[in-house]
Structure 1
Amino acid sequence: MANNRATKSGFAAEAQRKINSKYSEELAQECLEWVKQITNEDFSTSGEMDNFYEVFKNGTRLCRLVNIIKPGSVKKINESQMAFKCMENINAFLDVARSLGVPAQETFQTVDLWERQNLNSVVICLQSLGRKVSAGNFGQPGIGPKEAEKNVRNFTEEQLKAGQGVISLQYGSNKGATQSGINFGNTRHM
């Protein structure tokens, strides 16, 4: 757990402070309320780091969450408080989250939660899982903004050719141009 490590100092302490500064209590509270709504379990939904860590640290609640979203996805939830059993729970949750469509860049490492290294990444993962749940047909409420849908456009050959004849102002205009080119600022002295 987090108290098994020596306290950080120097650059490591500065890096940890920077990571901790990204943590949002509002988003964490939203995640906790969402998990409470789905699991029907009674726990504090305060978004403080200490509470967030205590609620999820052993991974059992995370496993129960994904088992409700997708029944039978975690075969065995370890109730033991031994470190490797808790980390197995967290890994099982992460595997199911990836299978439900949470992108790899929005997941977290096991030690981010177990050793309290980066709780913000845990919040990001839960937010992403909440978007996937609301976008999919899981019969559960989601959280966060609605996920974007594809907007595929099919143009005819005629429409594509018509677009080739238009000069886009994205390339700029010729205002201020001379034969010697456009000069900005001071000229180069040789």
Structure 2
Amino acid sequence: MSLERQVKAKLAAKRNPEQDKEAQKWIEDVLGKKFPAGQLYEDVLRDGVILCELINKLAPGSVPKVNTSGGQFKFMENINNFQEAIKRYGVHDVDVFQTVDLYEKKDIAQVTNTLFAIGRATYKHPEYKGPRLGPKPADEHHPEFTEEQLKSGQTVIGLQAGTNKGASQAGQNMGAGRKIILGK
């Protein structure tokens, strides 16, 4: 099996059709319109128009100009504008798919993961009252310690450091040199 085929097989195995359906339903619910019948999920998203409409619905004015025609360059521009807008919305760089993942259908699973990341980001926008996608992210918790608690921790050796119970230097050859025999 060629390397290219192995890579394609690995990417296809990562893809979860149920998550694709869940992401599609969420987009349809947010936008209030269904995907065109008979078209594949990735084909509908490929030109970036639906994605730009999605982020504009979540954060109005995020992508001011959406290209509905103009070919490959214009559609890839839509995708790039969408990516920049979702970063401003709160999606981390590591959660954003690469343009070729969608436009060339290289990694549709990553596109779906990005949509789930947008769904998680909606929880951080209290003004958003629409449908949600994915679980609510955990809130950060910053414990506060008193000065006394902090000082008491300085005298304790944590268990991560291990223990010296039962340790000895038996078997170590401290101070004795190695005997090196030189051959002829």
- 1:133 equivalenced with 2:161 (yes/no): no
Q: Where does structure 1 lack aligned partners over 5 or more consecutive residues?
A: 1-8, 183-190
Q: What is the alpha-carbon distance in structure 2 between the residues aligned to residue 102 and residue 45 of structure 1? A: 30
Give the residue type in structure 2 aligned to 1:92.
N
Amino acid at match of 1:61: I
The letter for the 2-side match of 1:109 is: Q
1:165 is aligned, of 133, 155, 158, to 155
2: CA distance between counterparts of 1:121 and 1:160? 43
After the TM superposition, which parts of structure 1 deviate over 6 Å for at least 4 consecutive aligned residues? Answer: none
Cα pair 1:134 1:140 within 8 Å, conserved: no
Identical-residue share of aligned pairs (%) = 38
Structure 2 gap ranges (5+) = 173-184
Counterpart pick for 2:27 among 31, 35, 38:
35
CA distance in 2, matches of 1:17, 1:103: 27
CA RMSD of aligned residues (A): 2.5
SS, match of residue 145 in structure 1: coil
Shift of 1:33: 0.9
Task: Tell me which of 76, 79, 86 is aligned to 1:87.
Answer: 76
Residues 81 and 120 of structure 1: is their aligned pair in 2 closer, same or farther, counting only changes over 3 Å? farther
Q: TM-score, normalized by length of structure 1?
A: 0.80
Normalised by the length of structure 2, the TM-score is 0.83
Change (3 A) 1:162 1:79: same
> Which residue number in structure 2 is paired with residue 156 of structure 1?
146
Residue of structure 2 in register with 1:59 after alignment: 48
